[in-house]
Amino acid sequence: MTIDVNGTTLAYNVQGAGRPIVLVHGFPLDSRIWVATAAILARSMRVFCLDLRGFGESAPVDSFSMRDLANDVAEAAEKLKIAPCPMAGLSMGGYVLQTLAKYRPEAISHLILVDTKAEADSAEGRAKREAMARDALQKGTKAVADAMAPNMLGAAPDPAVVGELRTIMESQRPETLAAASLAMRDREDFTPFLPTLRIPLRLIYGTQDTISPLSIGQAIQQRVPGSQLFPIDNAGHLAPMEQPEAVADAILRSV
Ligand code: MLT
C-alpha cells in the first residue's frame, strides 16, 4: 500500500487488528527488517511498517532532513487515523522518532527506541557520514552495504538473516543512502530532550550491538526517569531480525 505525505509517497504494510503501532526501520534498510517481529505483534496489535522516504518501495527522492523523515511518519499516522500511537524505531529510525517526539509529540503515545543513540555525531562521525554519502554516489549501494554488513549482526548470526540483510541493504538506491547519511550527520543531540519527554520511553538493545551498544541504552535509562530498558541476548544491531520473539515481547510489555 502507499500513502501520500509531504509531497512524497511512502510505501507501507499493515497487518493484525487491535491497538495500532508504527515500526520504523534503520539505515541502509527498509521495513523488511521488521517482518518477523511484526508477524508476532500482529497477533494482538494492528502493525504498520513504513518505508521511509526514498527507501524500499517508497518513491525516489534526492535529499531530505531528519525533520522531513519525522514529519512524514507523523503525517502518515495522522492520515491513517492512528495518531497518537506507540512507535518503535531502530537506529536511524530511532533518530527519526526522537525528532518526531520533540517536534510532533501529538502523533506519538509511547517512544520505543531500539539499538539507537541520543547524541549527535562527533566531528569524526560527521566526516565519516560525508565519506559514506560520497561512496554511495560514486561507488554505489554495494560499497555502503560492504562497509556496514560486518557490524550489523551479533556474534553468531543465522545465515538466513545474513542473506536477508544483504538483500535488503543492496536493494536501496544510492541517492537515498547519500541523503540519509547527510541527514544523520546533521541530526541534533537529543540528550537534553529525552528527560523532558511526557510519554513513556522504552529502550530495547541487543547485548552484542557494537554500533549502538547496550551501554548507550543504560546511559539513557539512567537519565530519563521512568524509562525502562530491555536487553536482548544473542542479538547485535538488528535485534528485531535476530531475536524477533524477544523484541516483540519487549514491545508488548512497553505499550
Ligand atoms: C542504522 O542502523 O540506522 C545506522 O547504523 C545508524 C547510524 O549509522 O547511526
The pTM for the full model equals: 0.98
Burial class (CB in 10 A: 0-12, 13-18, 19+), 207: middle
Q: How much is the pLDDT for 127?
A: 98
Q: Which residues of the chain have pLDDT under 50?
A: none
Phi, psi of 85 (to 5 degrees): -145, 165
Q: How much is the pLDDT for 3?
A: 98
Q: How much is the pLDDT for 193?
A: 98
Cα separation, 41 vs 112, whole angstroms: 14
Cα separation, 231 vs 247, whole angstroms: 9
Q: How much is the pLDDT for 109?
A: 98
Measure 17 CA to ligand 1 centroid, in angstroms.
30
Q: Whose CA is nearest to atom 4 of ligand 1?
A: 27
Cα separation, 249 vs 238, whole angstroms: 16
| Probe target for ligand 1 pocket from 212, 238, 242, with the most ligand atoms within 8 Å of CB | 212
| The residue type at 39 | A
Given the CA of residue 91, which atom of ligand 1 is nearest to it? 3
Q: How much is the pLDDT for 207?
A: 98
Measure 26 CA to ligand 1 centroid, in angstroms.
6
Q: How much is the pLDDT for 21?
A: 98
The answer to whether 161 touches 238, Cβ cutoff 8 Å, is yes
Indicate the length of the chain as a whole number.
255
Cα separation, 255 vs 240, whole angstroms: 17
Cα separation, 252 vs 2, whole angstroms: 26
Residue 29's nearest CA partner among 188, 159, 194, 161 is 161
Measure 114 CA to ligand 1 centroid, in angstroms.
11
Residue 76's nearest CA partner among 97, 107, 103 is 107
DSSP assignment letter at 224: S
